[in-house]
């Protein structure tokens, strides 16, 4: 449905279904097929998560397979093509839960924190190849049909408490997060690598460095 909607805007779209778990074979095949169809790859935007918040070992395993190994597999599969690009960029979407405690041990924030470290290492190791790597860490994002839309409907008190904690008085929109991703992926950020761009309306109190 997403691919069809984009095609209606006159954009060339290649869509594949892939499993980030297992041995990553279908993911690698999807990336290779996309690169061949499009004539190469310039940008990888990794925006996927198991969204696991439960305390069980299964939750941790699922989150590790999807968030950590899924990202590593995506990067490894894209690298041969990114190395041939003159404007190569990797952007991984994280979360403010990676840089601020969430009140208890949760796989989601822990895995995203691990990705910050991973991307920082990528930025250093790939700089000589002119491949940039950055992260974008949004706070809560509201959109129709999303997690916080469901929270608003079924747990309105929690929703209002979350809104009240943000000094901007609202949550981020998908478009605001997307603009940050586009900026870091574009030539406008050609000398920026190893950065974690926080998109949170002033929510986090720590000094960002």
Domain assignment of residue 151, yes or no: yes
How many other CB atoms are there within 10 angstroms of residue 185's CB atom?
21
Surface-to-core class of residue 190, CB atoms within 10 Å of its CB (0-12 exposed, 13-18 middle, 19+ buried):
exposed
**pLDDT the model gives residue 53:** 81
Q: Which residues contact 201 (CB under 8 A, 6 or more apart)?
A: 139, 166, 167, 168, 170, 171, 172
Whether residue 12 is contained in a domain is answered as no
In the block, residue with structure tokens 């190469």: 40
- C-alpha 107 chain-centroid distance: 16
At 6, is the secondary structure helix, strand, or coil?
helix
The dihedral of CA 56, 58, 60, 63: what is its sign? negative
Q: What is the mean pLDDT of the chain?
A: 94
16 is a domain residue: no
Higher pLDDT, 103 or 165: 165
Q: Is residue 9 part of a domain?
A: no
- Domain containing residue 120: 41-199
Q: Smallest Cα–Cα separation from 89: which of 44, 124, 41, 123?
A: 44
Beta bridge partners of 132: 89
Our count of domains for the chain comes to: 1
- Contact status, residue 68 vs residue 107, Cβ threshold 8 Å: no
Residue 177: the pLDDT is 98
pLDDT (mean) for 179-206: 97
- In this predicted structure, the answer to whether residue 106 has a pLDDT above a threshold of 90 is no
> Which residue in this structure is represented by tokens 């989150």?
63
What residues does 135 pair with on adjacent strands? Answer: 92, 196
Please report whether residue 175 resides in a domain.
yes
Residue 103 predicted with pLDDT over 70: no
- 19 domain residue, yes or no: no
The most confident of the ranges 7-21, 43-57, 90-104, 177-191 is: 177-191
In this structure, what CATH number is given to the domain that contains residue 90? 3.40.50.720
Enclosing H/E stretch for 44: strand 43-46
Domain assignment present for 186: yes
pLDDT class of 1 with cuts at 50, 70, 90: confident
Confidence class for position 208, pLDDT limits 50, 70, 90: low
């Amino acid at each position: 449905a997403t691919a069809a909607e984009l095609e209606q805007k006159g954009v060339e779209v290649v869509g594949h279904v892939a499993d980030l778990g297992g041995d990553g074979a279908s993911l690698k095949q999807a990336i290779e097929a996309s690169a061949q169809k499009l004539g190469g790859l310039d940008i990888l935007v990794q925006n996927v998560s198991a969204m696991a918040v439960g305390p069980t070992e299964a939750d941790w395993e699922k989150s590790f397979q999807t968030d950590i190994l899924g990202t590593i597999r995506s990067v490894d599969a894209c690298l041969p093509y990114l190395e041939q690009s003159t404007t190569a960029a990797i952007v991984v979407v994280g979360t403010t839960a990676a840089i601020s405690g969430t009140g208890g041990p949760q796989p989601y924030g822990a895995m995203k924190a691990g990705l910050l470290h991973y991307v920082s290492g990528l930025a250093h190791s790939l700089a000589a190849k002119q491949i940039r790597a950055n992260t974008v860490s949004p706070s809560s994002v509201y959109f129709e049909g999303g997690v916080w839309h469901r929270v608003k409907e079924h747990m309105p008190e929690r929703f209002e408490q979350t809104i009240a904690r943000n000094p901007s008085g609202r949550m981020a929109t998908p478009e605001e997060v997307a603009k940050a991703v586009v900026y870091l992926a574009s030539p406008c950020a050609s000398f920026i690598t190893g950065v974690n761009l926080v998109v949170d309306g002033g929510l986090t109190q720590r000094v960002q460095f």
